[in-house]
Structure 1
Amino acid sequence: MPATTLARRAFLGGAVAALAAARAFAQSPAPAGPVDPKLLDDLVAANRILADQGVVDGYGHVSVRHPADPQRYLMSRSIAPELVTAADVMEYDLDSTAVEPRGRASYLERFIHGEIYRARPDVRAVVHNHSPSVIPFGVSQVPLKPLYHMSAFLGGGVPVFDIKAAAGQPTDMLVRTPALGRALAQTLGERPVALMRGHGAVVVGDSLPRVVFRSVYTEVNARLQAQAMALGGPVTYLDEEEARRADASVGGTIPRPWELWKKKALAK
């Protein structure tokens, strides 16, 4: 083949690639604006804390709503939570389209976050985890209920999302589409926690410290509830009024464990 033909093909190939890149850039949403470094540090800390507390392992993800634009959220690229740094954080719109991805991979289940933020204007942070102790409560007929004051936020009930019922057919169990994200958000409703059958849980809150607190104590409550039930006798749970009062009291102390967990996790 003549050298001129090869050169022409190489030029055309480069032009096509450049055009595709330009189109992709044009279709990407513009950034919402600068983010306070402290918020990025807290998002990194939230990932590290949940790994340190055994709520997440190589899987799971944490997001926070963008402070400058409620139609955006921040979450790391697809990476193990314990390894997240501020440089890994990406911006997404509520369709879960990445802003300036720069070749970085996104979590397959990012639609969990976008659709919950869309449905719940009150939510400022979201955690998806595969917390081991909650799994049995998502696959059995035994409801997860608060049995001590630290998990009083569970007092309104914990629904279970069944992805097969939502999709109308068997799936790979991953919330990998906006429609499945919407179905999960509908199951969650106005509650702080929903279980996902055969998968894990989603937890929401009005801040990163609160969503981390709830994620940790959902796991702890599930473990303690299973232990209490294994004793064989009746289990006494918090009643509605006890849960309401305890949640109000304990909720004001969240900065205490947050600072402790943060110090421990970031020291590693």
Structure 2
Amino acid sequence: MTDPRATVAQACRILAMEGLVEGVLGHVSVRAGENRMLIRCRGRDERGLMFTDERDVRQTDLDGALTGAAEGYAVPNELPIHGEVLRARPEVNAVVHAHPPAVLLCGVAGLELRPVFGAYNIPAMRMALEGVPVYRRSVLIRRPDLAHEMIAAMGDRPVCVLKGHGITVTGASVEEAVVRAVNLNALATITLDLARLNARPEDLPDDDVAELPDLGSAFNDLSVWRYLVAKAHSHGM
């Protein structure tokens, strides 16, 4: 079984490789038992998410108190994004917080993420079809009350755009959360490119939606995750 610290570290490197995070901003967490999580922290020799390794992934409680040997490490300023989501939603086991430029621009410009394509990316289409909620405050979510506002905006959806800020994405696993974040970024990239072309296509018709199968998590998530891991390895990550 893969060490969950290694999975979180790999997730951070993948997010950097795919352009969803840059520099030292962004973090990934995974539930690690009752009132515990593993989360990407910053150490004395912080090098950014692209260079995350297992040592950067530390255990904390859901309020951010580091447990075990953690000298020299600090939890993210926005730890409440992770702790409060894991506390409020027991079905969630992993949380990604990232800053994809395409999502940022769509949010600031007020571009709605609509289901305008189909078989090109079925999970992203379904994400748009089911609705992508927006938390409309451009704030650093460093207090539980702000995290609660974000969670209220997010509802029961697995993704949320943080206007003027970034994204929060959840999953039953780190792999699922990361792939969802990548799909959300793909949806935003197409939306932004269409806006630049001054194009506003209609939503995908119901007849076409009905023809698009759910290929299942083994294909939609795990196969994509394995591809992303292999791509990262090919880049020496």
The interval holding the TM-score normalised by the smaller chain is: 0.7 to 0.9
Match of 1:47 in 2: 12
What TM-score does the superposition give when structure 1 sets the normalisation length? 0.75
Structure 1 unmatched runs, 5+: 1-35, 165-172
Q: 1:217 to 1:236 in 2, by over 3 A?
A: same
1:1-268 residue pairs with structure 2 within 5 A? 37-58=2-23, 59-66=25-32, 69-78=33-42, 79=46, 80-100=48-68, 101-148=70-117, 149-151=122-124, 152-163=126-137, 173-238=139-204, 246=212, 248-249=214-215, 251-253=217-219, 254-267=221-234, 268=236
Q: 1:53 to 1:198 in 2, by over 3 A?
A: same
The whole-number CA distance in structure 2 between the counterparts of 1:222 and 1:82 is 22
Q: Tell me the secondary structure at the aligned position of residue 175 of structure 1.
A: coil
The whole-number CA distance in structure 2 between the counterparts of 1:128 and 1:183 is 16
Match of 1:10 in 2: none
Q: Tell me the secondary structure at the aligned position of residue 175 of structure 2.
A: helix
How many residues align structurally?
Answer: 223
Q: Tell me the secondary structure at the aligned position of residue 15 of structure 2.
A: helix
The whole-number CA distance in structure 1 between the counterparts of 2:92 and 2:158 is 9
The whole-number CA distance in structure 1 between the counterparts of 2:56 and 2:197 is 45
Which structure has the greater CA radius of gyration?
1
Q: Deviations over 1:145-204 (max 9, x none)?
A: 23332402232211211236xxxxxxxx21111111121112111111111121111111
Moved over 4 A (4+): 239-247
% identical equivalent positions: 32
Structure 2 unmatched runs, 5+: none
Q: 1:73 to 1:245 in 2, by over 3 A?
A: farther
- The answer as to whether partners of 2:9 and 2:56 remain within 8 angstroms in 1 is no
The whole-number CA distance in structure 2 between the counterparts of 1:71 and 1:241 is 45
Q: What do you get for the CA RMSD once the two structures are aligned?
A: 2.3
- The answer as to whether partners of 2:113 and 2:132 remain within 8 angstroms in 1 is yes
Q: Tell me the secondary structure at the aligned position of residue 237 of structure 1.
A: coil
